[in-house]
Copies of this chain bind each other. A is one copy, B any other.
Amino acid sequence: MKHIKIAYIGGGSKEWAKVFMNDLAQAEGITGEIALYDIDIDAAKRNQKIGNRINSHEKAISKWDYQVYEKIDGALKNADFVAISILPGTFDEMMSDVHTPEAYGIYQSVGDTAGPGGVIRSMRTVPIFEFFAKKIKEHCPKAWVLNFTNPMTICVKTLYDIFPEIKAFGCCHEVFHTQDFLCSVLEEEKGIKVHRNQIYTDVTGINHFTWITEAKYQDIDLIGLLPSFLDKYYETGFNENGSSDLYLESPFAQANRVKMDLYKQYGILAAAGDRHLVEFLNHNWYLRDKEMIDYWKFALTTVDFRIELREERIKKLELEAEGKKDIDLYTSDEEAIDLMKAILGFNQKVSNVNTINLGQVKDLPLGSIVETNALFTNDQVIPLMAKPLPKTVKNLVLRNANNIESLYEGIKNRDLNHIFESFINQPLLDGLTIVQARALFKEMIENTKEYLNQYFNIDGFLNN
């Protein structure tokens, strides 16, 4: 039995923490402490209660010692793993990030990674991750750090820039869904039904704008099956988990029409949800207006919806924490615990991660954060070499990767003018004049001043 300490930063109001605890309870061979830290200490305490209830579940193989910390230092002290899953700012700031641009004709389906929302959210996030990196360096420099926070790329960039020896990577399940989609294609076209772990997808790009350069089940080329699949589903759309019209009810759903359309044009499969993909492209391509969005069968996820959803979740979590609702253990599709076990030497595992580009993606800048496959094993996370993208797709990805690099430089130097230059280079903002873009930028930083003021000279910029 291996004893470990896992610091869990944030996650207080997320379903995701419960999945994590669910998976931990079923992980053979490991046990130890889960150190909970959240700026909302009540949320951390709620998680502690839920963790304790899971411990006492009859199917729980492994029991964990859930501790709540008031300060991050205690939580991190000597941790073996650190999981970071926070919301940078509140939904008030997110409301501005996502919806303020609408007045300028700019729609965002997610608004947390690229586009105007991604830029402003990054301005709040980078300083927080600078703080995390320093604290990790101080308290647990050898810990493995798993980030789940968005904007993924710039979070991981910050960790490596501040503490270059950090052992950090970012986990995102968008690629998993595309693997599920490919399994559906295989089943549909060949009648072969497999789990996504049985196929191999070569992944490259940046988070939420990732691409599958090759996909094989044994020697069957899954990409080669797409033309025939598209003949059937391009028009109607296809959702690997349900109806292709699910997006009408669920603002997280999509019908893969954008993905299929990009495949038709570029001959290569994008590996993230359509809602994410469209935010890296010219705004007139898929996000011009609500009619167009509807045509492509995905939804804009409003912040109102997120607020509502969170309230429901918290209500449910409170019932579970108080024992008023049963908790059942189940097999999740998340991989975090598997990855940790592989790192602990229990096995080898290959999965996609976001980490620093040491050359695994030849087409993207060295030192930028890229998403590729990596091998997890015996205290190692080693990127695999990615295959090259077609030149025109590379151009689309590189443009965004370079934007993130310059955005990071601007935030690091607290240089609002430089940040603005990254802002106007966002594909989603291509339709604005510089004057309009400046007005939007000023409005968005004014709206979120409360958070930004601690790091930037906002008033100086606004009055200029």
Whether a CB of chain B sits under 8 angstroms from the CB of A446 is no
Checking B266, B285, B432 against A284 with a beta-carbon cut-off of 8 angstroms, the contacting residue is: B432
A261→B358 CA distance, assembly (Å): 31
Whether a CB of chain B sits under 8 angstroms from the CB of A360 is yes
A219→B379 CA distance, assembly (Å): 5
A405→B398 CA distance, assembly (Å): 14
The interface residues of chain B lying within 8 Å CB-to-CB of A433 are 284-285, 288, 292
Checking B202, B344, B385, B392 against A425 with a beta-carbon cut-off of 8 angstroms, the contacting residue is: B392
Structural contact, B379 and A406, CB atoms closer than 8 A: no
Question: Looking at the complex, which of A17-25, A32-40, A55-63, A210-218 is the stretch in contact with chain B?
Answer: A210-218
Whether a CB of chain B sits under 8 angstroms from the CB of A345 is yes
The interface residues of chain B lying within 8 Å CB-to-CB of A89 are none
**Which 3 pairs, one residue from A and one from B, show the smallest C-beta to C-beta distance?**
A218-B345, A392-B421, A200-B378
Whether a CB of chain B sits under 8 angstroms from the CB of A174 is no
A295→B70 CA distance, assembly (Å): 59
Residues of A within 8 A of B (CB): 2, 198-200, 202, 214, 216-219, 261, 265-266, 282, 284-285, 288, 292, 344-345, 348, 350, 358-360, 362, 373, 375, 377-380, 382-385, 391-392, 394-396, 398-399, 402-403, 405-406, 409, 417-418, 421-422, 425, 427, 430-434
Checking B385, B392, B396 against A358 with a beta-carbon cut-off of 8 angstroms, the contacting residue is: B385
Nearest CB on B from A259, distance (A): 14
Checking B359, B394, B409 against A391 with a beta-carbon cut-off of 8 angstroms, the contacting residue is: B409
Assuming the contacts A284-B431, A344-B218, A348-B348, asked whether A375 and B375 have C-beta atoms less than 8 A apart, the reply is yes
Closest to A288 in B: B433
A392→B407 CA distance, assembly (Å): 9
Checking B362, B379, B403, B431 against A359 with a beta-carbon cut-off of 8 angstroms, the contacting residue is: B362
Nearest CB on B from A393, distance (A): 8
The interface residues of chain B lying within 8 Å CB-to-CB of A285 are 433-434
Nearest CB on B from A145, distance (A): 15
A396→B425 CA distance, assembly (Å): 8
Closest to A2 in B: B218
A219→B421 CA distance, assembly (Å): 30
The interface residues of chain B lying within 8 Å CB-to-CB of A345 are 198, 200, 216-219
The interface residues of chain B lying within 8 Å CB-to-CB of A344 are 218-219
A169→B323 CA distance, assembly (Å): 58
Structural contact, B421 and A266, CB atoms closer than 8 A: yes
Nearest CB on B from A285, distance (A): 6
**Can you name 11 A-B pairs with beta carbons within 8 Å?**
A200-B379, A218-B345, A219-B344, A219-B379, A265-B417, A292-B433, A375-B384, A383-B384, A392-B418, A392-B421, A395-B406
Structural contact, B378 and A218, CB atoms closer than 8 A: yes
